[in-house]
Amino acid sequence: MKYSEIMVRYGELSTKGKNRRVFIGQLGHNVRQVLKQFDGVTVDAQRDRMHVSLHDQDAGPVMDTLQKVFGIETFSPVVKLEKNTPIEKIQETALEMISNQFKNGETFKISTNRQNKDYPLNTYQMNDEVGGYVLDHLKGIEAQMKHPDINLQIDVRMSGIYLSSQTIQGALGLPVGTGGRGTMMLSGGIDSPVAAYMAMKRGVKLDMIHFYSPPYTSEQALAKAKDLTAKLSALGGTVDFIQVPFAKIQEEIKEKVPEGYLMTVQRRMMLRIAAAITIARHCDGVFTGESLGQVASQTLESMRAINDVTNLPVLRPLLSLDKTEIIKIAEQIDTYDLSILPYEDCCTIFTPPAPKTKPKVEKAREFEQNIDVDGLMKEALDGIKISKIHPDDDYLNANEDVFSELL
């Protein structure tokens, strides 16, 4: 079936006046960004609906892309006909549409809505003519007015006649960019991409902060974190990826801090740096993928000892989810397969065998006096690199040649 446009219905847009305008404007912007890869496709975000005109592009891949964007409730592929299209053409189009999705034993109904009163057939006649034609030409189908399997809608408007028969569930949530700005501490693991997804679902625009530790961590580990970011950028458009060199800090800590506090002090340094970046970029909170009690550094006592270094909100969308629940979401959002690739990030490599599960704030502060906190922080901040990541970026594959040379 050749569709002319995708009609998008808005989700939980904030209800009133100005807010609604802002939300729709942002959603339009986000959709334009993720659809940039499709030549010729245009986006018109109106007050009640958004129209994505396909201009000869295939509907399938465009719909797959739209399905990930937060702020969309449902959408429908639509065939647009000229406003004076004769009934015969409407009948043929309706039959083709229904045949495409019909499975034996299913029922259907035609629902016409007529704004253009100049059209020679009224609502009743249109339903009758088109419904009768479908019944005559499609074996095994039955008409049913209440809860049909297929509801073909015909909108007779001044601008044209619109046919649609499928309503596809969108990603719901709020458009990314309408819920404030935050930073995300993104590792290459399973949890933090899921936490990012949940923050973005509430409309938060995230900048990703990733700590990497060459030569202890590989180019692949960095590329993996960037590819995870590319997956997440499909939810609402381009994302800034900030990579922070962390090896020097880890070496210092390893040398000068007692083993039981290696993890706590590393995490405090990470959060300090993340907080400084957050403030410098005018963001208002730091998100992490922590889940209560999952590992030693994620006990409540540990969170307190780490949180001590900043008074910014540290938000943990996964706090009370089980690992199996987190994995399920990771699979749904298609980050799982990337996350389990065996490229170690900076934490796994410097994880002490027995980190304290109940570190004390005072002790952490005391041991930190063995290292030059400000100097190390400044050096790390001077070494950051920022890249813009788009939905169709693929760092692991793009760099395959480079990697194979390194092996």
Look at residue 290 and give its three-state secondary structure: coil
The residue among 3 and 287 lying less far from ligand ATP, judged by its C-beta, is: 287
User: Is residue 191 involved in binding ligand ATP (CB under 6 A)?
Assistant: yes
User: Is residue 193 involved in binding Mg ion (CB under 5 A)?
Assistant: no
Residue 377 counted as an annotated binding residue: no
Residue 157 counted as an annotated binding residue: no
Least Å distance, CB 245 to Mg ion, is 18
Least Å distance, CB 295 to Mg ion, is 9
Least Å distance, CB 358 to ligand ATP, is 16
Q: Do 265 and 255 touch, CB atoms closer than 8 A?
A: no
Least Å distance, CB 325 to ligand ATP, is 13
Question: Which DSSP helix (H) or strand (E) runs through 375?
Answer: helix 373-382
Of these partners, ligand ATP, Mg ion, none, which one is at the site of residue 91 (CB under 5 to 8 Å by kind)? none
- Could you tell me the two tokens for 275? 């907080």
Of these partners, Mg ion, ligand ATP, none, which one is at the site of residue 289 (CB under 5 to 8 Å by kind)? ligand ATP
Least Å distance, CB 171 to ligand ATP, is 21
Q: Do 276 and 310 touch, CB atoms closer than 8 A?
A: no
The residue among 76 and 217 lying less far from Mg ion, judged by its C-beta, is: 217
Determine the size of the site formed for ligand ATP (CB under 6 A). Answer: 20
Q: Which residue has the tokens 């400084």?
A: 276
Residue 298 counted as an annotated binding residue: yes
User: Is residue 288 involved in binding Mg ion (CB under 5 A)?
Assistant: no
- Out of 24, 52, 185, 329, the residue judged to bind ligand ATP by CB under 6 A: 185
User: Is residue 347 involved in binding ligand ATP (CB under 6 A)?
Assistant: yes
Q: Phi/psi class of residue 212: alpha, beta or left (left: φ > 0; alpha: ψ in -120 to 50)?
A: beta
Tell me how crowded residue 396 is: count the other CB atoms within 10 A of its CB: 18
Question: What residue ranges in 85-159 does DSSP mark as E strands?
Answer: 107-114, 142-143, 150-157
> What's the number of CA atoms in the CB half-sphere (13 Å) around residue 275?
17
CB-based closest residue to Mg ion: 189
- Out of 198, 314, 346, 364, the residue judged to bind ligand ATP by CB under 6 A: 346
User: Is residue 177 involved in binding Mg ion (CB under 5 A)?
Assistant: no
* C-alpha span between 271 and 2 (Å, rounded): 51
Hey, which residues between 210 and 239 contact ligand ATP (CB under 6 A)? Answer: 210-211
- Out of 65, 112, 166, 192, the residue judged to bind ligand ATP by CB under 6 A: 192
DSSP state of 206: E
How many angstroms separate the Cα of 167 from the Cα of each of 9, 320, 369?
10, 33, 61
C-alpha dihedral sign at 306, 311, 314, 320: positive
Residue 211 counted as an annotated binding residue: yes
Residue type, 340: I
How many angstroms separate the Cα of 393 from the Cα of each of 85, 228, 234, 240?
43, 10, 10, 13
Phi, psi of 76 (to 5 degrees): -140, 135
Region near Mg ion per CB under 5 A, out of 21-29, 112-120, 136-144, 179-187: 179-187
- Identify whether 215 is preceded by a cis peptide bond (ω within 30 of 0): yes
Residue 137 counted as an annotated binding residue: no
Q: Do 240 and 208 touch, CB atoms closer than 8 A?
A: yes
Pairing of strands 239-245, 205-212: parallel
User: Is residue 65 involved in binding Mg ion (CB under 5 A)?
Assistant: no
Cα 244-296-320 angle, rounded to 5 deg:
90
User: Is residue 189 involved in binding ligand ATP (CB under 6 A)?
Assistant: yes
User: Is residue 252 involved in binding ligand ATP (CB under 6 A)?
Assistant: no
User: Is residue 187 involved in binding Mg ion (CB under 5 A)?
Assistant: yes
Residue 135 counted as an annotated binding residue: no
* C-alpha span between 225 and 387 (Å, rounded): 12
Least Å distance, CB 312 to ligand ATP, is 14
The residue among 190 and 262 lying less far from ligand ATP, judged by its C-beta, is: 190
- Out of 189, 193, 317, 355, the residue judged to bind Mg ion by CB under 5 A: 189
Which parts of this chain interact with Mg ion (CB under 5 A)? Answer: 187, 189
Which parts of this chain interact with ligand ATP (CB under 6 A)? Answer: 185-187, 189-192, 209-211, 288-290, 294-295, 297-298, 345-347
Q: Could you tell me which residues are annotated as the binding site? A: 185-186, 210-211, 267, 289, 298
Q: Could you tell me which residues are annotated as the binding site for ATP? A: 185-186, 210-211, 267, 289, 298
